[in-house]
Amino acid sequence: MDELKDYKEYLKTHVPGVKRRDFFKWMGGGIYVFFSVGKALDLLAADGDQYGRGGVSDDFNAFVRIKEDGKITCFVGKIDMGQGAITSFPQMVADELDVAYEKVEMVLGDTDLCPWDMGTFGSMSVRILGPTLRAAAAEARAVLLELGSEKLGIPVDQLSVKDGVIFIKNNSKKKVTYQELAKGKKIERHMEQKPALKDYSELKVMGTPKFHQDALDKVTGKALYSGDIRMPGMVYARILRPPSHAASLVSVDTSEAEKVEGVQVVRDGDLVAALHEDSEMAGKARSLFKAKFSIEEEKDIRNDNMFNYLLKNAPDGNSNINEGDLSTGKGQSFVVFENEYHDGYVAHSPMEPHTALAYMEGDKMIVRAGTQTPFPAKSNIARALGMEEEKVRVQPPFLGGGFGGKSAHQQAIEAALLAKLTKKPVMVDWNRKEEFFFDEFRPAAIVKVNSGIDSNGKITFWDYHVYYAGDRGAETMYDVPHQKRTVYGRGWTAPGIHPFGTGAWRAPGNSTNVFAREVQVDIMAAKAGIDPVEFRLKNLTDKRAIDVLEAVAEMADWKPAKSPRGRGFGVAIGSDAGTYVAHIIQVEVNKQTGEVKVLKIWCAQEMGFCVNPQGSTIQMEGCINMGLGYALKEIVEFDGGKVKTSNFDTYEIPRFSWIPEIHTKILQRNEPPQGGGEPAIICMGAVISNAIYDATKARLFEMAMTPERVLKALKKD
């Protein structure tokens, strides 16, 4: 839960007291219900932490407006990058407020209109903000019932609501609509107490499949992303870029660039940009910059030595799990296993590169940025520009994918700086090379596992060391009496070690950790001569894990047998963002070329109460497809701070021909909703590695499992 730790740190310095903004001044009448972030944090307090709640008590984290025209608008600081929050949020509001789903509209991520939010990541929209939003809607319903009671002269307990109409239980003709009640009103309510949310049995909209609400705009080209917004007098900026992250600018001669008709060259310290109303002309001018960079010291890390380099420079380890006694466990072992797992750097590569349009509106800086973190972006822009935070407004339009990569918002700061300097609307739209260069990659990581089994196939001990990936997903999951977990480096960052930025990549750390754990478990199962599903069940008592594993085995019609059986079936399980997943996969390995083709995949997921089964299914499919990339092909080529990968010619992301037949199942459970945007990606490396073993007896210990690496592993066996 690194995001939450970060959030706690953030709150220490940033009281999100965006204070009471004067909504009524220009938002008109209606009924407003505000709900405090502290309430949401109560729900987070699983580890007993307070998350700096004192600092946030004045503010609110969601609000719902019932407008005078009867429309319901919901304002939340999250954004939609395709994950479908724009569809699942209205489902929650509609149910709690007793209105039609279609009546609810969302305003997302606008820093002037929406309550402060740390950002959209960690599969937290439904899981963490959801209860808050539902509570705000439930309170709005209670307020409306009180008003309805006054209007009809009937006590609240004799009233009922359906589709935004309040009526007397025994006489549906005596009624008043939400719209009528909101008319001419300016009511503001703040939640003090946790209101009662509806019971699962009462939910009508939540739990039913809803298609993407924004599909029509997206198939007609009307949906606006940052780069699609137009302003009079707008110019495109092409910015001088260094050859390496270790390079610093010595000098630049822009005289040739300045000869391009209509160009404006701007320089502010190391920020040098060519601006032109025609983006190609701006690019042409940039290509004429003659710059000298110096590289004082390039880190000696490249693709061919990265794991050695990282181990040599590893930060101190921190043992955050230490149960039983490892040497006792070893003593009870029939066989011990010692393996090292490697995971390389991986790029986010959303189809839309980082883009932002910035312009001044009076004395206010407006930034239309594709970002997962509009509120932190606002703070950082204000700081970079030396402006008051109140003078900066970030309004994210649609995002063309994020996956964690758009938590970083350098492009928004660049656009705002240039807009301030030139007093013009400035579009900063990175090209693909810039997108790869500045991406904060999923960090390369190493996991060392020592473990053992007894003669009955029970795991005896588990000594786990993870370097650079963090501990998300590093839970042992299985029942092991003697275990120790040591984490080297915190989360996905390791200041001063990686030669470029690293960051949160969909289910950060978890794909690396599941790869190590589930391959290690598979190795133990094979050695024990026990079917890999049976071996897992034998060592599990966590009911949710057992449920998903049994469900997926049934879906795939799993025939127990000892691996390897030459059939190319693999299994893996994991847990992320409060959700459990289990995967079974079938692969075909070409032993001549080393090419791995995934034929079929089955995935069972248990995520508590699933708000939108359609959206969640699509997220599962998306996770599976995206996961094929890091598992099989994606490699960032680099030499120190020089990122050599610059486009999709060498960076291979999943294509149509790679995609297997996919079967998904969601186990619906009447428990609080858990995350859905990330879990189904975490097993992809492990399940493929295990299936390759089943097909060929070759064990793959490094991702991506490229044909070259598969061939090398085949030769070993």
Partner 1 sequence: MKEKIEFELNGKKVNVELDKSQTLLWVLRTYFNLTGTKYGCGEGYCGACTVLINNEAVRSCATKMGEVAGKSVVTIEGLAKGDVLHPVQKAFVEHDALQCGYCTPGMIMNAVGLLNQNPNPSREDIIWGMEDNLCRCGAHNRIIDAIQTAAGEINGGK
Q: CB 543 → partner 1: shortest distance, Å?
A: 30
Q: CB 264 → partner 1: shortest distance, Å?
A: 16
Q: What are the structure tokens assigned to 317, written together?
A: 């380890």
In one-letter notation, the amino acid at residue 51 is Y
Is the CB of 110 or the CB of 277 nearer to partner 1?
277
Distance CA 590, CA 487 (A): 37
Q: CB 627 → partner 1: shortest distance, Å?
A: 9
Is the CB of 60 or the CB of 403 nearer to partner 1?
403
- On whether the CB atoms of residues 412 and 381 are closer than 8 A, the answer is yes
Burial class (CB in 10 A: 0-12, 13-18, 19+), 386: exposed
In one-letter notation, the amino acid at residue 709 is R
User: E strand or H helix at 116, and its extent?
Assistant: none
Q: What are the structure tokens assigned to 663, written together?
A: 């079967």
Distance CA 639, CA 247 (A): 13
Is the CB of 152 or the CB of 662 nearer to partner 1?
662
Is the CB of 106 or the CB of 136 nearer to partner 1?
106
Q: CB 6 → partner 1: shortest distance, Å?
A: 24
Is the CB of 18 or the CB of 688 nearer to partner 1?
688
Is the CB of 71 or the CB of 212 nearer to partner 1?
212
In sequence order, the β-bridge partners of residue 146 are none
Q: CB 223 → partner 1: shortest distance, Å?
A: 5
Peptide bond into 564 cis (omega under 30): yes
- On whether the CB atoms of residues 125 and 109 are closer than 8 A, the answer is no
Q: CB 82 → partner 1: shortest distance, Å?
A: 3
Q: CB 553 → partner 1: shortest distance, Å?
A: 23
Q: What are the structure tokens assigned to 588, written together?
A: 């075909």
Picking from 188, 197, 146, the residue whose alpha carbon sits closest to that of residue 40 is 197
Q: Name the residues that contact partner 1, by CB under 8 A.
A: 81-84, 211-212, 214-225, 227-228, 230, 277-280, 349-353, 398-403, 429, 431-432, 614, 618, 621-626, 647-649, 653-657, 659, 661-662
Q: CB 137 → partner 1: shortest distance, Å?
A: 25
Picking from 83, 72, 74, 159, the residue whose alpha carbon sits closest to that of residue 119 is 83
Q: What are the structure tokens assigned to 75, written together?
A: 């304002």
Q: CB 380 → partner 1: shortest distance, Å?
A: 24
Q: At what angle do helices 130-152 and 85-97 cross, to 10 degrees?
A: 30
Is the CB of 83 or the CB of 244 nearer to partner 1?
83
Is the CB of 389 or the CB of 595 nearer to partner 1?
595
Is the CB of 349 or the CB of 689 nearer to partner 1?
349
Is the CB of 420 or the CB of 442 nearer to partner 1?
442
| Residue 441 DSSP code | B
Q: CB 381 → partner 1: shortest distance, Å?
A: 24
Picking from 99, 72, 68, the residue whose alpha carbon sits closest to that of residue 161 is 99
Instruction: Label each residue of 126-141 as H, E or C.
Output: HHHHHHHHHHHHHHHH
Is the CB of 7 or the CB of 398 nearer to partner 1?
398
- On whether the CB atoms of residues 560 and 568 are closer than 8 A, the answer is no
Q: CB 684 → partner 1: shortest distance, Å?
A: 11
Picking from 680, 683, 713, the residue whose alpha carbon sits closest to that of residue 699 is 713
Distance CA 553, CA 556 (A): 5
Task: Name the residue with tokens 């990936």.
Answer: 469
In sequence order, the β-bridge partners of residue 366 are 359, 393
Is the CB of 228 or the CB of 542 nearer to partner 1?
228
Contacts of 447 (CB under 8 A, 6+ apart): 340, 341, 343, 464, 465, 466, 467, 469, 512, 513, 515, 516
In sequence order, the β-bridge partners of residue 597 are 588
Start-to-end CA span in the chain (Å): 39
Q: CB 703 → partner 1: shortest distance, Å?
A: 18
